[in-house]
Amino acid sequence: MKEHQRTSILASTTGSRPGTERVNGIRKPKGQPALRRQAQRGFTLVELIIVAILMLILAGVTLPVAKYAIKRHKEADLRLALREMRNAVDEYKRYSDAGLIPVDLGTDGYPKELEILVEGVDLVGQIDKRARFLRRIPIDPMVGTDEDWLLLSYQDEPDSGSWGGENVFDIRSSSAGTGLNGIPYAEW
């Protein structure tokens, strides 16, 4: 057998060719430095920039949606607080119309103050029995306190911005903001 054939058979069995060598499983020509495996790891600058741009786009879309959801949640809390207090005022009025609680002159059967709904009133004809209509005065979620509710008395004009002080007929938020439906919170 010729020398050339013997070398090629030997090369095919060992996996190397004449003039090449294997370094870390990679065939390379003799005399060239070995390729470093670490250079093939990681991300390129272009890939990192593309990922950063995509994250900015997602954040830009998510932020307005989150703000809208927070505002919608606060509005739901406001509706619930107004409904709770208005139901308490209506229940107080039903009790006074039925003669179950004493009625102060000039109040038309409505509570004199909002705090009376929490403190409760003595029931007529019963000893040591009080009727409470609210556990606590809810916090206005748009303002953040329970002391800034706008009160209207039965004698006030419906669009009045001040409380006459005779009684509590209606409750509104004191927030100057506008709801998602376009109606100011003070008109809810």
Which two structure tokens, joined as six digits, stand for 119?
A: 């403190």
User: Rounded distance, CA 27 to CA 21, Å?
Assistant: 6
pLDDT band at 54 (very low <50, low <70, confident <90, very high): very high
Dihedral sign (CA 89, 92, 96, 98): positive
**Which pLDDT score, from 0 to 100, does residue 136 have?**
93
Contact 165, 157 (CB under 8 A): no
Which two structure tokens, joined as six digits, stand for 14?
A: 């060992």
**Which pLDDT score, from 0 to 100, does residue 19 have?**
67
Find all residues with CB under 8 Å of 64, minimum gap 6, and list them: none
Q: Name the phi and psi angles at 27, rounded to 5.
A: -80, 130
**Which pLDDT score, from 0 to 100, does residue 10 have?**
46
Q: Which amino acid would we find at residue 19?
A: G
Percent of the chain with pLDDT over 70: 78
pLDDT band at 130 (very low <50, low <70, confident <90, very high): confident
- Tell me if the pTM is above 0.85: no
pLDDT band at 144 (very low <50, low <70, confident <90, very high): confident
Give the residue from 34, 30, 8 showing the smallest Cα distance to 19.
30
Residue 8 has pLDDT above 80, yes or no: no
Q: Where are the domains of the chain?
A: 3-32, 79-187
Q: What is the pLDDT of residues 10-37, one digit of tens each?
A: 444 455 566 666 666 666 666 655 555 5
Using the structure block, give the residue that is written with the tokens 């090629």.
8
